Structure 1
Amino acid sequence: MAAASTPRVITCKAAVAWGAGEPLVLEDVDVSPPQPFEIRIKVVSTSLCRSDLSAWESHAIFPRIFGHEASGVVESVGLGVTEFQEGDHVLTVFIGECMSCKPCKSGKSNICQALGLERKGLMHSDQKTRFSIKGKPVYHYCGVSSFSEYTVVHSGCAVKVSPHVPLDKICLLSCGVAAGLGAAWNVADVTKGSTVVIFGLGTVGLSVAQGAKLRGASRIIGVDNNPQKCENAQSFGVTEVVDPNSYREPIAQVIKRITDGGADFCFECVGDTDMITTALQSCCDGSGLTVTLGVPKVKPEMSAHYGLFLTGRTLKGSLFGGWKPKTDLPSLVEKYMNKEIEIDDYITHNLAFDDINKAFNLMKEGKCLRCVIHMP
């Protein structure tokens, strides 16, 4: 009986990226059984995040399976896993929570020492891959790789949710929506009556807007040059939109002028290090705070005049909105189920797995917020 229940290799369809910017190809991929402290998940829904697109366009690790915003059902568990069992509904997360390292226990950081960002396309535990095609390795992305019918993640990189929660909606809490809300609440601690400026009105930026609105910000100014995104911004809490292309003067000067000296809070949600400097310049003297959330695909170094800091401005980074995934995500799911936060309106397209390249094209062209891909 024991041998019959031992997990075996599964062969399934996965969208494999063979090179930078090349269309993904649906391939038959072998998915290994979960190793100790890992779980294998049948992916139900997964959405395309801007960081997937950026990595696909620029990273050198191929072949690779992208995707990290996902929900699914546990198919099997590895040795030592006690938190999950077959049939559990889960959210995947791109940074884990081991619950025992110094940052996890300190309460000061959500960057787990054991299960932080995966950068080499390999599993945390043994630096190997669980995917292969004809015996040759296919690499992971963000420790999740959800553009596959089945995937393997460390048990610390999954969060159990109620079977009554709609998996096709809450997959957005795996990254984008949670990251924006957390940046406004946990990292910036936006205050009532404050002025907020958001650079970039994608899913993350509009999630910041939702968080700022719920905190009672009086002005929420969105900065974006995409007319389609600007049109929809007000429904998420943005009170006014600024298109940089409509002004001859630098956008930081525009913000300083229309806010009478600068914003209380600025959020960089583009992934452009030059925009971080612009956001800093748009903050008010003395107490202005800039939070950067974007992931740049080029020019990772930034520069800023020391005077911006000498006059009291602060720059903070935000990864996953400061949330500890296992500790904090269940409360966000509960807020969604209680209609205290909005998720559904960020979903602009629902696509079949066969149409995954359409999702990439829509995001490249700036014609979507989140495309949710429904697995077979």
Structure 2
Amino acid sequence: METEVAWEAEKALSIEEVEVAPPKAHEVRIKIVASGVCHSDWIYLYDVAKMKPWSFPLILGNEGAGIVESVGPGVTKVSKGDKVIPLILPPCGQCERCLSSKTNLCTKNWEKTQQGVLEDGTSRITCKNQQIYQFIGISTFSEYTVVPEDNVTKIHPDAPLDRVCLLGCGVSTGYGAAVNTGKVESDSTCAVFGLGAVGLAAVMGCKAAGASRIIAVDINPDKSEIAKTFGATEFVNPKDHSKPIQEVLRELTNGSVDFSLECRAAVEACSPAGGICVIVGWIEVNILWPPWIERTLKGTYFGGWKSVEALLLDEFVTHRLTLDQVNQAFDHMITGKRSVFFYKNIFYLYK
């Protein structure tokens, strides 16, 4: 079967024939039907690998949905034929963190997932007689993948896989950043910085939480109308102003916003008297003391979810490309476009 393999950091992906072994005990082999190209895929390939080398060769992909093709001995949570979403943050349901309401970072499954291997320290995917590591333990850029039983959640048999795959990361992360991590309040004023799928989902989360004013911020003017579709009450393009964006927002709100989601200027844009800023994406933050006052800066991983709920999904999808254009897909993503590319029976969606 064909898939996209990253042989080394900062290099374009290449289409290769791979072998996916049967699942071992407590493992599930999934036929991936749909997968998003998340910004995390690009970041790991081009940025994170510079600082902390990831194991290569590697198959990327962390926003997927598919059908259980087979299960290993001892599997009880899913059966052959079930529709599922692979989980980048699998809960064991038993460790201290899983039993806590304060975090969604499972202690048991975190280490192996970050190493790109399964419980026995290996992956089930090989190419040219070489082990291929599985990105965040799942690798959804492959027609088939094998993951631990904890790494899948069963979904409704009528669920459209070419849309619900977005719940695997981006949409859940942005929405959860607002409702779970930021705990946006009713009648509050919010600012969301960056309107990729994660940002748009954050806008949607602010609306669901009852925010009365949601200011969407992006340098791409094309994002104005789509942001309003998800609930933004107004749109601001920093390029249209000579002042720093945080100053623009302070003037627009006669002081500051109650909740800001994303990075850097977002901190200074929120109220110094109890404002909350949620860092959602992969960024560097270096802020000195004066901007803090009584502000709170919070991080989020997968939006703080231990589960997901029904959300807008169709509105995230726009263009289509073929599988062999996956590197072009990355180019589109980092220039602010959102697309879908497909090959045979596999849809790959990305922001």
TM-score calculated relative to the size of structure 1: 0.85
Of 14-23 and 163-172, the range deviating more from structure 2: 14-23
For 2:122, which of 128, 143, 155 is the aligned residue?
128
- Residues of 2 paired with 1:173 and 1:375: CA distance? 22
Of 168-177 and 15-24, the range deviating more from structure 2: 15-24
- Residues of 2 paired with 1:27 and 1:19: CA distance? 14
State the shift of 1:36 in Å: 2.1
State the shift of 1:375 in Å: 5.2
In the alignment, is residue 232 of structure 1 matched against residue 219 of structure 2? no
The SS at the match of 1:315 is strand
Q: Is the 8 A contact 1:46 1:373 kept in 2?
A: no
- Residues of 2 paired with 1:46 and 1:165: CA distance? 14
Could you list the per-position Cα deviations for residues 92-129 of structure 1 after superposition, in whole angstroms to 9, with x for gaps in the alignment? 11110111111111222110001237332222x12212
Q: Is the 8 A contact 1:129 1:137 kept in 2?
A: yes
For 2:302, which of 320, 326, 336 is the aligned residue?
320
- Residues of 1 paired with 2:256 and 2:36: CA distance? 35
Q: Which amino acid aligns with 1:120?
A: Q
The SS at the match of 1:47 is strand
Aligned to 2:323: 353
State the shift of 1:304 in Å: 2.0
In structure 2, relative to structure 1, the CA distance for the partners of 1:375 and 1:139 (3 Å cut) is farther
Aligned to 2:156: 162
Of 251-260 and 114-123, the range deviating more from structure 2: 114-123
- Residues of 2 paired with 1:177 and 1:365: CA distance? 19
Structure 2 unmatched ranges of 5 or more: 346-351
Aligned to 1:292: 279
The SS at the match of 2:135 is coil
Q: CA RMSD in A?
A: 1.7
- Residues of 2 paired with 1:284 and 1:108: CA distance? 24
Aligned to 1:19: 8
- Residues of 2 paired with 1:374 and 1:350: CA distance? 10
Aligned to 1:278: 265
Aligned to 1:272: none
The SS at the match of 1:119 is helix
For 1:46, which of 35, 39, 46 is the aligned residue?
35
Q: Is the 8 A contact 2:177 2:304 kept in 1?
A: yes
- Residues of 2 paired with 1:144 and 1:27: CA distance? 18
In the alignment, is residue 219 of structure 1 matched against residue 213 of structure 2? yes
Q: After superposition, where does 1:175-324 map in structure 2 within 5 Å?
A: 175-268=169-262, 276-296=263-283, 300=284, 302-309=285-292, 311-324=293-306
- Residues of 1 paired with 2:65 and 2:241: CA distance? 43
In structure 2, relative to structure 1, the CA distance for the partners of 1:134 and 1:355 (3 Å cut) is same
Q: Which amino acid aligns with 1:65?
A: I
Aligned to 1:364: 334
- Residues of 1 paired with 2:343 and 2:158: CA distance? 18
Q: Is the 8 A contact 1:350 1:372 kept in 2?
A: yes
Q: Which amino acid aligns with 1:346?
A: F
The SS at the match of 1:114 is helix
The SS at the match of 1:241 is strand
Percent identity among equivalent residues?
40
State the shift of 1:22 in Å: 2.7
The SS at the match of 1:106 is coil
Q: Is the 8 A contact 1:168 1:374 kept in 2?
A: no
